[in-house]
A = this chain, B = another copy of it.
């Protein structure tokens, strides 16, 4: 586990994102790149990862928030999914 990913979480925490009492699913994809000029594919992976999630839970689009952030040589894709109270 890299320090930079931990720092990222600390940073997010400081922003005061309130903990949601709802059931939820969170996906973090961190790409640590040795060379910054490598092409990034996280944005393209995003839709396919959501397709996998949708096989398991049925959620509306507005229950999903997506963020893509750059932290030094690390790129982080964050998917937050608020799950419905009653899952089938």
A interface residue numbers (CB < 8 A to B): 1-3, 5-6, 9-10, 12-13, 17, 19, 21-35, 38, 41, 44-45, 48-49, 52-53, 55-56, 85, 87
What CA separation (Å) do A45 and B54 show in the bound complex?
Answer: 10
User: A interface, by DSSP: helix, strand, loop or mixed?
Assistant: mixed
CA distance A6 to B17 in the complex (A): 12
Copies per complex of this chain = 2
**In the complex, are the beta carbons of B1 and A6 less than 8 A apart?**
no
CB distance from A57 to the nearest CB of B (A): 8
Collect the chain B residues with CB atoms within 8 Å of residue A55's CB: 48
Query: A28 near B31 (CB under 8 angstroms)?
Result: no
Indicate which residue in B2, B31, B34, B52 contacts A49 across the interface (CB closer than 8 Å). Answer: B52
